[in-house]
Chain A
Amino acid sequence: MSAATATTALPAGAAAAGEGRIGLRANLRHIGALARRNVLQIKQDPESMFDALLMPVIFTLLFVYVFGGAVSGKGHQHEYVNYVIPGLMAMMGMNIAMAVGTGINDDFQKGVMDRFRTMPIARSSVLIAKIVVEVGRMLIATAILLGMGFALGLTIETDALHLLAAIALSSVFGASLMWIFILLGLTMKTAQAVQGVAMLVLMPLQFGSSIFAKPTTMPGWLEGFTKVNPLSNLADASRALINGGPVAHSVWMTLAWAVGITVVTAPLAVARFRKKT
Chain B
Amino acid sequence: MTTRLTDNGGTAAVEVRGLVKHYGSTKALDGVDLEVRQGTVLGVLGPNGAGKTTLVRVLSTLIRPDAGTARVAGYDVLQQPRQLRRVIGLTGQYASVDEKLSGRENLYMIGRLLDLPRKDARARADELLERFSLTEAARRPAMQYSGGMRRRLDLAASMIGRPAVLYLDEPTTGLDPRTRNEVWEEVQRMVAEGATVLLTTQYMEEAEQLAHELTVVDRGRVIAEGKVAELKAKVGGRTLRIRPADPGEAAAMAEAIGQAGLDGVAGAHVDSAEGLVSVPILSDEQLTAVVGLLGGRGFGIAHIDTHLPSLDEVFLALTGRQPAPEEPTDEAARPSRGGQPAGPDRAEPNNEKNVEVAV
Task: Please give the residue numbers on chain A whose beta carbons come within 8 Å of chain B beta carbons, in ascending order.
Answer: 1-3, 16-22, 26, 29-30, 32-34, 36-37, 40-41, 44-45, 110-121, 277
In whole Å, how far is B64's beta carbon from the nearest beta carbon of chain A?
A: 9
Minimal beta-carbon separation of A127 from chain B (angstroms):
14
Min CB distance A5 to B, Å, is 12
Chain A residues within 8 Å of B79, by CB: 16
> Which 9 pairs, one residue from A and one from B, show the smallest C-beta to C-beta distance?
A20-B82, A33-B112, A111-B96, A115-B96, A20-B83, A44-B100, A120-B85, A118-B60, A120-B86
Contact of B82 among A36, A45, A113, A120 (CB under 8 A): A120
Residue of B nearest to A1 (CB): B115
Tell me, rounded to whole Å, the shortest Cβ–Cβ distance linking B171 to chain A. Answer: 14
Q: Are B98 and A30 touching (Cβ within 8 A)? A: no
- B contact residues around A21 at 8 Å (CB): 82
A30 to B63, CA, bound (A): 23
Closest to A115 in B: B96
Within the complex, what minimum Cβ distance (angstroms) separates B141 from chain A? 6
Let me know if B223 is at the binding interface, CB within 8 A.
Answer: no
In the assembled complex, how far is the CB of residue B92 from the closest CB belonging to chain A, in whole angstroms? 6
B231 part of interface (Cβ distance < 8 Å): no
**Which of B's residues lie within 8 Å of A, judged by CB?**
57, 60-63, 79-86, 88, 90, 92, 94-101, 105, 109-110, 112-115, 141, 157
Assess whether A111 is in contact with B92, with CB atoms less than 8 Å apart: yes
Bound CA–CA A111/B153 (angstroms) = 13
Interface centre among B57, B82, B83, B85 (most CB of A within 10 A): B82
Q: Return the contact of A17 from the options B82, B98, B113, B141 (Cβ within 8 A).
A: B82
Beyond known contacts A41-B101, A111-B92, A111-B94: 10 more, CB 8 A cutoff = A18-B80, A19-B83, A20-B81, A20-B82, A20-B83, A26-B115, A33-B112, A37-B98, A112-B96, A118-B62
Q: Is the interface of A mostly helix, strand, loop or mixed?
A: helix
Kindly provide the distance from the CB of B299 to the nearest chain A CB, expressed in whole angstroms.
Answer: 54
**Contacting residues, chain A, for B113 (C-beta < 8 A):** 30, 33-34, 116, 119, 121
A118 CA / B114 CA spacing, docked (Å)? 11
B90 CB contacts on chain A under 8 angstroms: 114-115, 118
- A16, A112, A119: the one contacting B114 at CB < 8 Å is A119
Instruction: Report how many A-B pairs have Cβ atoms within 8 Å.
Output: 88
| Contact in complex: A20, B80 (CB < 8 Å) | yes
> Contact between A277 and B141 (Cβ–Cβ < 8 Å)?
no
Q: If A3-B115, A121-B113 touch, does A110 touch B81 (CB 8 Å cutoff)? A: no
A186 → chain B closest CB, angstroms: 15
Contact B115 A29 (CB under 8 A): yes
Contact between chains at A44 and B97 (CB < 8 Å): no
Best-surrounded residue of A19, A34, A112, A277 (most CB of chain B within 10 A): A112
Q: Which listed residue, B82, B100, B112, B114, touches A32 by the CB 8 Å rule? A: B112
A44 near B141: Cβ-Cβ < 8 Å: yes
Residue of B nearest to A45 (CB): B100
A111 to B90, CA, bound (A): 11
Residues in A whose Cβ lies below 8 Å from that of B114: 119-120
Distance in Å: Cβ of B25 to nearest Cβ of chain A: 18
